[in-house]
Amino acid sequence: MSMERSSQPTVLIVGAGLGGLMLGALLEKADIPYAIFERTAEVRPLGSALLVGPNMIPLFEQLGIDKEFIAMGRPTPKITVNREGGPPLYIVSSLPQVKYTGYYSYIVSRPLFYDLLLKLIPAEKIHFSKRVLTISEKEERVKIQTADNYTYEGDILVGADGAYSAVRQRMYEALRQEGRLPKSDQEDLPFHSTCLVGQTTKVDFADFPEFQEPLCSFFNTMGKDSPHTWVVFATAQSTLCYMVIHHLDKASSKAAEEHRFRESDNSQWGPHAAQAMVDETRHFPLAIGTKKMTMGDLYDLTPQGRISKVMLEEKVFQTWHSGRTVLLGDACHKLNPSGGHGAITAMHDAIALANLIYALPANANTNTIHKVFAEYQAERIVPVTESYNTSKSFSKIMERGIVGMIALFLFKNIPLWMLNMIYKRQILSRPQAGFLPIIPLKGNVPALRSPSTEKARAVYNQRMAAVSL
């Protein structure tokens, strides 16, 4: 099946996760033809919740979803960390970021946020049960074949299909056969921890007075005698979200990885092997509530299907594109969730890519598209690498043993000026769509320059000037 030709590129997006939906929503606004292909029969946005704020809200204003996003979210400016059975070790406040940007960070239920983006995509542009089998390029077109024996052609193929991306695997196999794939990109995705995530039904916050404050907090507990960390936070819908992280040693990590390949478990979001971890961690005490409670109490309040176990892979790939194929989000960089940057980096990828696709000249050839993809990677690799390193640093604080002790000591004693510098660096990237009305930025810290936004804006102005003649 060949997508309709036009002077604008036709974009095939594989993967209907947050990154793929964001790209689709932006292309929809830009009136660029596209289609989204998702391998599952329906997307079940499992997990607990996301922390989203200053880096994204200006774009939400451009898309007209900012008010709905803020209404479904809960401002969360504090993180309280304690050792199991002990008083708080430290409290981290992100309130300086409000002064820097004019926005809070919000906890938002992952399924609700997914549905918010989904509403921006016409239903006929998302095709489910479309598992990609092959990719090929011929005569300035890219073609995918799906497991149901359909073929689709377009001008650009975007792999937004997660850490175990089929698009990346097909692209890498072709590059490997040609001797053009770096050695590091041929290595398996490493992981050093597993994580249980879930979200309860609605609870009475009278039982959890810590969450009755308008400005909510994370509560992070580090195990005393076990290699675990558990985190609890609340949503605006009066549900409690949680993560229980199991920090693996090298031997355990190797054994877990071997088991993963034997069982063909691709480690995507899903209820894989969750029950065993639930049973192992039920007794972990909560540092919140009016009475003694454990994680088991939260598990019992969690509906079936809202809890899952995942592997927390960490890797930034070197190769993001080849020919007319390009990767986005977890398909080219998988971050530890400790830094809270994974979803943000995927959506920032989508913004940069949408800007550059919009700015493409009519009927762009493969060489032109290759140069644009190189611009995309050059713009995104620096903030992605910084987010990757930040996430790894935060994960060290939660580790056990001498490394965790040193990281915790350093973080507790970090000078205020240095902490504020870290906060500023985290909010510098606030890109927007150059082909939509630009939202004046708030706060007293200017955003980083976005070359892709500027390029799209220049083309937008040229096109508007031509129309007015």
Per-residue pLDDT of the chain (469 residues; tens, 9 = 90+): 544 445 789 999 999 999 999 999 999 999 999 999 999 987 765 667 888 989 999 999 999 999 999 999 998 877 777 777 777 666 777 778 888 999 998 999 888 999 999 999 999 999 999 999 999 999 899 999 999 999 999 999 999 999 999 999 999 999 999 999 999 999 888 887 888 999 999 999 999 988 887 776 778 888 888 888 898 989 999 999 999 988 887 655 555 555 554 444 444 444 557 888 999 999 999 988 888 999 999 999 998 878 888 888 889 999 999 999 999 999 999 987 655 577 999 999 999 999 999 999 988 999 999 999 999 999 999 999 988 887 666 666 556 566 566 656 666 666 766 667 777 777 889 999 999 999 999 999 999 999 999 999 999 999 999 887 6
Q: Domain end: 286, 313, 340, which one?
A: 313
Q: Are residues 169 and 201 in the same domain?
A: no
Of 430, 451, 466, the closest CA to residue 359 belongs to: 451
Q: Quick one: DSSP state of residue 55?
A: T
- Which one of 290, 313, 336 terminates a domain? 313
- C-alpha closest to that of 127 among 36, 218, 191: 36
283 and 342 assigned to the same domain: no
User: Torsion angle of alpha carbons 455, 460, 463, 469, nearest 10°?
Assistant: -120
CA-wise closest residue to 38 among 120, 103, 127: 127
**Per-residue DSSP letters for 347-377?**
HHHHHHHHHHHHTPPTT--HHHHHHHHHHHH
| Domain-embedded: residue 89 | no
What range defines the domain where residue 262 resides? 191-313
In a shared domain, residues 274 and 299: yes
Predicted model pTM: 0.90
The answer to whether residue 90 is domain-embedded is: no
Looking at the structure, tell me whether residues 329 and 219 fall in a common domain. Answer: no
> Is 268 found in the same domain as 241?
yes
How many domains does one find in the chain? 2
**CATH number of the structural domain spanning residue 153:** 3.50.50.60
Same domain, 18 and 156: yes
- Cβ 157 vs Cβ 163: under 8 Å: no
Quick one: 180 and 198 in the same domain?
A: no
399: left (phi over 0), alpha (psi -120 to 50) or beta: beta
Residues in contact with 194: Cβ distance below 8 Å, sequence separation at least 6, in sequence order:
245, 246, 248, 256, 277, 309, 310, 311, 312
**Residue 50 placed within a domain:** no
Same domain, 330 and 457: yes
> Is residue 78 situated within a structural domain?
no
- The reply to whether 237 and 375 lie within a common domain is no
Let me know whether 320 and 257 are in one domain: no
Which is nearest to 370 in space by CA: 324, 318, 431, 306? 324
Would you say residue 82 lies in a domain?
no
Evaluate whether residue 395 is within a structural domain: yes
Q: What is the distance between the alpha carbons of residues 329 and 19, in angstroms, rounded to a whole number?
A: 6
Choose one of 261, 282, 313: the last residue of a domain. Answer: 313
- Determine the Cα angle at 368 with ends 62 and 152, to 5°: 75
> Based on the domain organization, do 132 and 258 belong to the same domain?
no
Q: Is residue 92 one of the residues assigned to a domain? A: no
> Does residue 455 share a domain with residue 410?
yes
Calpha distance 150→59 (Å, rounded): 35
pLDDT given for residue 268 in this prediction = 46
Structure confidence at residue 407 (pLDDT): 59
434 within a domain of the structure (yes/no): yes
